Structure 1
Amino acid sequence: MPTNAVSAAKPTYPGVYVEELPSSARTISTVTTSVTAFVGHTRRGPLNQPVRVTSFTEFERRFGGLTSQSAVGYAVHQFFGNGGTVAVIVRVTKAGSGKAACVTLESTEGHSESAVLEVHAKEPGHWGDGLRVAVDYDTACPDDEFNLSVYDARGGAREAFTGLSMDASHGRYAPTVVNAGSRLIRVDVVGEGRPDPSGTVSKPFGHELPDLAVDLKVKIGEVEREFTLYDPDSDGEAPCNVAELALLLERKLRALPDAPGKHAFAGVEVTAFGRRVQVVAGSTDPEDVVRFVGECANDLGLEGSVNPPVFPLEGGEDGDPPGPRDLIGSEADKTGIQSLRGEDDVNLLVLPELAAYENVDDAVTVVSAAQRLCQERRIFLLVDAPNSWGSVDAARAGLAAFEPVRGNHAGLYFPQLQLTDPLTGRLRSFPPSGAVAGVFARTDAERGVWKAPAGTEARLAGVHSLAVNLTDRENGLLNPLGVNCLRTFPMVGPTVWGARTLEGSDALDSEWKYVPVRRLALYVEESLQRGLQWVVFEPNDENLWQQIRLSASSYLHNLFRQGAFKGGTPREAYFVKCDHDTTTDEDIANGVVNVLVGIAPVKPAEFVIVKIQQTSGQFEL
């Protein structure tokens, strides 16, 4: 047993004592490599808030799906179609544009009508005009509390919040409960009193019900029907309380014929609360108001307060697409791409709207800001070639605009993709970054981040053709300039045929020339940065240095075994140095421990040269 072990039990008899000791070895876990952030305009969704989605179906539910106004929607669709698994969506609109739909609920409890509760769509956009809210008093305290239901007539989502109060000291204060729990709405109290219930609410019935064997007339919208409320010959025993009356009334109303294509009568709901009944049409049409008319209805008190079955939200406005300033955003306010600063595990960044900018300088300005963010957050940026690059000559001439942003945290892809637009069924051009990001994700999953996301395996799924068909000679003009070309080959189809960073021009001779080399380094850096967090505040001595060397070497050796590094032995592939040579006495006095890590990344075989010589004679086996 180790001498430094502390015995859990005092030995009292001769024998062998066994204890389990915690391991001092620390493991370094790998991090994600292909979580892709898409920043730009969407139909709906929270503004400037990163939201993770794992499928295009989830994107449709949260952000409204495809729209001709949003390049982001198409890019996300192509990302998942090419193997992407996790996307982070940041909705950005032009500053000052966009408005959330709203409805103001009123109260007549104080015998004078006044606004008491404002209901707003959670997010700006025309989508909010499809929201409907309903109110009822069917609670444990029907004189003080209320229930609020929300229905999205376009998306189908439903929410219900019960036992709400307008008293700020109450445990179920409406704004606190709704605003924290709803994904559709938020509410603000603007007056005193509860909001009036939906539908028609009767006057209070006495402890003994009146004569119910009467004929009633009811109108829902423009449709009027007449029926007998209680028939002793067919309805059995007469109701003896308000709850039984509600059941009888609901059954009779549902039996009445509806207008063609309507569900107003068939879906009627009658609820009893206290000594009252609430009648709500089975419809989300605000025009389907339930009205009981005639002397008999008046005698029963069914002509009480009348409201629509639901209260519709109105006035939502979609925001305009963002401009360059909006996309760049504010670091202090965490808007635009700056909102990603608080988001962990983002590896790729896609800005598909930049390709459509008429002024390429505006796109370059955004790329410059995005690269600064990428360098700080260890993210790789996928840059789309501008729409104006309709030929190889245009690309060579336009590339000069990108000289100020030739960094190694970005790659430029050309040309655009030709795909069938799911909205119109017609062939049109799209920026390639979304599909390329999907290829990155697929390659990482199948081969590893050290494999170049290019070649015959990097096929672009769903792509009909390319906007510019490049020849080998034309490819040879752009590749040395750091432009990643997309090519079409027989039996393979459209594929990614380039793996250079923007700093990968032959003239720059950068050590970060290749995309997989840059991304592998980012992967290792992020893994080590997170995996060595435990070192902080540990005693800075040889014991600590030994644990650091062991943890880092174990992590790197695992990558070496997977083929991430070149070299036939671990010594040739990587090294970890943490000792008195890297951490001096002065460093120790200042609380610093220095770890030196070196790796030998595998560079892609970009040029394969095969030499063939013709010989004469015969070969012997």
Structure 2
Amino acid sequence: MSAVSAAKPTYPGVYVEELPSSTRTISTLTTSVTAFVGHTRRGPLNEPVRVTSFAEFERRFGGLSARSAVGYAVHQFFGNGGTVAVIVRVTRAGSGKVARVTLKSTEGHSESKALEVYAKEPGVWGNGLRVAVDHDTTCPDETFNLRVYDARGEARESFAGLSADPDSGSYAQTVINAGSRLIRVEAVGEGRPDPSGTVSKPFGHDLPDPAVDLTVKIGDVEREFTLYDPDCDGEIPSSVAELALLLERKLRALPDAPGKHAFAGAEVTAFGRRLQVVAGSTDPEDVVRFVGECANDLGLEASVNPPVFPLDGGEDGEAPGPRDLIGSEAGKSGIQALRDVADVNLLVLPELAAYEKTEDAVTVVSAAQRLCQERRIFLLVDAPATWVSVDSARAGLAAFDAVRGNHAGLYFPHLQLTDPLTGRLRSFPPSGAVAGVIARTDSERGVWKAPAGTEARLAGVHSLTVNLTDRDTGLLNPLGVNCLRSFPLTGPTVWGARTLEGSDALDSEWKYVPVRRLALHVEESLQRGLQWVVFEPNDENLWQQIRLSASSFLHTLFRQGAFKGGTPREAYFVKCDSDTTTDEDIANGVVNVLVGIAPVRPAEFVIVKIQQTSGQFEL
């Protein structure tokens, strides 16, 4: 029965009625979302983070680092056409420390700890963070504000109206930990943290006489000035706010040390009946101190703190070892963290190429292939850095015999690029750039097109560590090694499209990368697109809808050129009927769908035959 009620005819004529389609659409999924797992400068540990540009990677993970092969791989991925990456930061277990600082409170009878501030993630990067506190709020006697600065002194985050009361809706620990991407805090006392800078005692109803000579010292620079001169400062301040403006103006007029901005950028804030004086810098050494009897009369010696509270003690974690990369399935660490990510199509582990023991790299590749088989991911394997010639590659290839699966492809040799950090040529494993080429090929041609050939140019690559000839390629290609070649017109180019199982000796049906990846794409799309089938009545009506949905999806791929054959019948088939689903299957709640496809295989060898004819041309 249609969900739309039938129109009731009341007059002779033609009645038009819209009916919902009975065909369920199977959507095309992503094909080139690439996961990078390994060491980065910063970022959450063992937590997959999706980024869509290298600029975003820099913000979240700290950008390039000489110690991070992942950073360079991500840079090359986006430079070659990649659009979406998933980053999992991994460090060696037990290494790395979080930068921190303890904010104290003097609101009670004695000084006590108030707030522990930690960098969000471990690493040296956290040592560049600074936090500043003030009480300039609508309730200056109860709440406070907290700002976070980066290493350049730029304000990155600000939290206003925070409370030290756990029952408050603006409780500092709850608000900051939920909203900050840079820090987390832990309340370790009941009071508020003291403000940054120098804070006066609370003034009474009548302000003290401002016509005094003051001596102020910021860092090593000491200056003297008159706070209020009736001949040039106009009316005497009548409120704390006016007194703050006067003091700020006088401080900013004092000469700074060369290259400094401590006096020129000084800020004086009035909150409640108090003054807060902060130097115009984020250098913790630029403490504002007022000295002398007159300063004591104004109450400017009450509380003296640096302009910002610096975090320190952060240490970078060591590069992960094989066990760290493999991770724990229970703890969702290492590559196992990808189990929680719905859309990942390619996996890159650029650190394996630098392992001194090839056996360690093979161990990780083995675990990664198991994950790839379960999650329908394709693994890009870098040749070891020790493969510096064709002979060393052929000799070392035997180590990979134990992991010759069809969910991975091996690429050789390494790339020579200009290191953006030093401006010098360096060699890099190729997997990041190859992943970008695959993403670009998928976008321009489709997942069924081999990511190799003259269109698969490696952008930004200066040269290759090994210049391969046709003869060299003829030795490696039959062994399942995807060669990278350099040609006069195209430059460095991907010149191979075989899986690790693609050795001629294995004679695998999954010999080629595009065939394997197309099958993974079809499997994942059908698996997700047929979720609606669960709990439906298992009868001919359901089988017909399954055939329509699956055939419609496959026909779209056929029209795009994914399959060989001149007609749909030659390109694919979908069978779901009483032959595939027996009465016993129905009784057990099982419906079986049989799908067959005829993938287009790449033309690896193009043979041109030329015949010379004898005789003369006739005019």
TM above 0.5, yes or no, is yes
Give TM-score scaled by structure 2 length: 0.97
Q: Deviations over 1:175-216 (max 9, x none)?
A: 111111111101111122111111111111112222222222
Aligned AA (1:489):
F
Change in CA separation of 1:615 and 1:271 when aligned onto 2, cut-off 3 Å: same
Match of 2:436 in 1: 438
Query: Which residue is equivalent to 1:371?
Result: 369
Task: Give 1:238 shift.
Answer: 2.6
Q: Who is 2:387 aligned against? A: 389
Distance 1:423 1:618 in 2: 66
Name the structure 2 match of 1:76. Answer: 74
Partner of 1:262: 260
SS in 1 for 2:87: strand
SS in 1 for 2:544: helix
| Correspondence for 1:527 | 525
Task: Give the superposition deviation at 1:11.
Answer: 7.5
The alpha-carbon deviation at position 488 of structure 1 amounts to: 1.2
- 1:63 Cα shift? 1.2
Q: Does structure 1 retain, via aligned residues, the 8 Å contact 2:381–2:408?
A: yes
Aligned to 1:574: 572
Q: Report how many residues are paired.
A: 619
User: Is 1:614 matched up with 2:618?
Assistant: no
Distance 1:359 1:620 in 2: 70
Q: Distance in 1 between matches of 2:55 and 2:155?
A: 14
- Secondary structure of the residue aligned to 1:44 is coil
Question: In 2 relative to 1, CA 78–12 (structure 1 residues): closer, same or farther, beyond 3 Å?
Answer: same
Which of 279, 282, 285 aligns to 1:281? It is: 279
Letter in 2 for 1:469: N
1:481 aligns with 479
- Report the alpha carbon displacement of residue 558 of structure 1 after superposing the two structures with TM: 0.8
Amino acid at match of 1:348: L
- Deviations for 1:222-252, whole angstroms, at most 9, x for unmatched residues? 2122222223333333322212222222222
Between stretches 6-15 and 226-235, larger displacement belongs to 6-15
The aligned residue for residue 38 of structure 1 is: 36
Q: Determine the C-alpha separation between the residues in 2 that align with 1:320 and 1:228.
A: 56
Structure 2 residue matching 1:116: 3-state secondary structure? strand
Equivalent of 1:293, from 291, 300, 303?
291
- Which residue does 2:504 correspond to in 1? 506
Cα gap change, 1:83/1:195 in structure 2, threshold over 3 Å: closer, same or farther?
Answer: same
TM-fit CA distance, 1:484: 0.6
Counterpart-to-counterpart distance in 1, 2:439 and 2:397: 27
Q: Does residue 1:116 correspond to 2:130, yes or no?
A: no
> 1:386 is paired with a residue of what secondary structure?
coil
Q: Structure 2: which 5+ runs fail to align? A: none
Per-residue deviation, residues 52-105 of structure 1 (Å, max 9, x unmatched): 111112212211111111111111111111111111111111110000101011
Query: Given that residues 146 and 160 in structure 2 are in contact (C-alpha distance below 8 angstroms), is that contact kept between their aligned partners in structure 1?
Result: yes
Partner residue of 2:420? 422
Structure 2 match to 1:357? 355
* Aligned mates of 2:196, 2:33 — CA distance in 1: 45
* Match of residue 303 from structure 1: 301
For residues 618 and 525 of structure 1, do their structure 2 counterparts lie closer, same or farther at Cα, with a shift above 3 Å needed? farther
Separation in structure 1 between the aligned mates of residue 217 and residue 413 of structure 2, nearest angstrom: 63
2-structure distance, mates of 1:390, 1:53: 33
Query: 1:327 offset after TM fit, Å?
Result: 0.5
TM-score (normalizing by structure 1): 0.97
| Stretch moving more, 129-138 or 533-542 | 533-542
* Structure 2 residue 147 is the aligned partner of structure 1 residue 149: yes
> Does 379-388 or 210-219 show the bigger shift?
210-219
- Cα distance in 2 for partners of 1:442, 1:6 equals 45
Deviates more, 1:295-304 or 1:19-28: 19-28
Cα displacement (A) at 1:585: 2.1
Deviates more, 1:161-170 or 1:566-575: 161-170
Counterpart in the other structure of 1:319: 317
Give 1:256 deviation, angstroms: 1.8
Partner of 1:64: 62
Match of 1:340 among 338, 341, 346: 338
Q: 1:74 to 1:6 in 2, by over 3 A?
A: closer
**CA–CA distance in 1 between the matches of 2:616 and 2:180?**
81
Relative distance call for 1:588 and 1:507 in structure 2 (3 A) is: same
1:158 equivalenced with 2:156 (yes/no): yes
- The amino acid across from 2:168 in the alignment is H
Residue 347 of structure 1 aligns with an amino acid whose one-letter code is N
CA positional deviation for 1:275: 0.9
Which amino acid is the alignment partner of residue 165 of structure 1?
S
1:270 is paired with a residue whose SS is strand
Following the alignment from structure 1 to structure 2, what is the Cα–Cα distance between the partners of residues 507 and 124? 48
- Residues 61 and 155 in structure 1, CA contact (< 8 A), matched pair in contact too: no
The alpha-carbon distance between structure 1 residues 200 and 586, as it changes in their structure 2 partners (threshold 3 A), is same
Paired amino acid for 2:140: P
Quote how far apart the aligned CAs of 1:270 are. Answer: 1.4
Aligned residues of 1:128 and 1:313 also touching (Cα < 8 A): yes
Q: What fraction of aligned residue pairs are identical, expressed as a percent?
A: 87
Which residue identity lines up with residue 523 of structure 2 in the other structure? Answer: E
Secondary structure class of the residue paired with 1:325? helix
| Residue type of the alignment partner of 1:491 | L
The Cα of 1:138 is off from its aligned counterpart by 1.2
Task: Give the alignment partner of residue 25 of structure 2, picking from 17, 24, 27.
Answer: 27
Of 225, 228, 232, the match for 1:227: 225
Structure 1 residues 297-317: Cα deviation after superposition (integer angstroms, max 9, x where no partner): 211212221111100001110
Q: In structure 2, what is the Cα distance between the partners aligned to 1:495 and 1:131?
A: 43
Distance 2:524 2:10 in 1: 51
Q: Which amino acid aligns with 1:474?
A: D
Q: What RMSD in Å do the two structures reach over aligned CA positions?
A: 1.8
| Per-residue deviation, 1:593 | 1.6
Distance in 1 of aligned mates of 2:145 and 2:618:
92
Which amino acid is 1:467 matched to? Answer: T
Q: Distance in 1 between matches of 2:378 and 2:269?
A: 58
Cα separation, 2, equivalents of 1:154 and 1:256:
24
Give the SS at the match of 1:175. helix
Most deviating of 493-502 and 53-62: 53-62
Q: Deviations over 1:546-600 (max 9, x none)?
A: 2211111111111111100000001111111112222222222222221111111
Aligned-partner SS, 1:339:
helix
What is the rounded CA distance, in whole Å, between the counterparts of 2:476 and 2:570 in structure 1?
Answer: 34
Partner Cα separation in structure 2 for residue 158 and residue 245 of structure 1: 30
Q: Of 146, 151, 170, which residue of structure 2 is paired with 1:172?
A: 170
- Quick one: which amino acid aligns to residue 439 of structure 2? A
Give the 3 Å change call, closer, same or farther, for CA 238–21 of structure 1 in structure 2. farther
Residue identity matched to 1:36? T
Q: Which residue of 2 aligns with 1:585?
A: 583
Distance (Å, rounded) in 1 between the aligned partners of 2:72 and 2:594? 43
- Greater shift, 359-368 or 427-436, is seen at 427-436
- Following superposition of structure 1 onto structure 2, how do residues 536-555 of structure 1 map, counting pairs within 5 Å? 536-555=534-553
- What letter is aligned with 1:23? S
The Cα of 1:280 is off from its aligned counterpart by: 1.0
Aligned counterparts of 1:421 and 1:5: Cα–Cα separation in 2: 63
AA partner of residue 609 (structure 1): I
Shift of 1:423: 1.7
User: Shift in Å at residue 20 of structure 1?
Assistant: 4.1
Alignment-derived partner of residue 460 in structure 2: 462
Q: Which runs of 5+ in 1 are unaligned?
A: none
Cα distance, 1:9 vs structure 2: 8.2
CA distance in 2, matches of 1:366, 1:465: 28
Q: Could you say which residue in structure 1 is the equivalent of 2:561? A: 563
**How far apart, CA to CA, are the structure 2 residues paired with 1:590 and 1:619?**
77
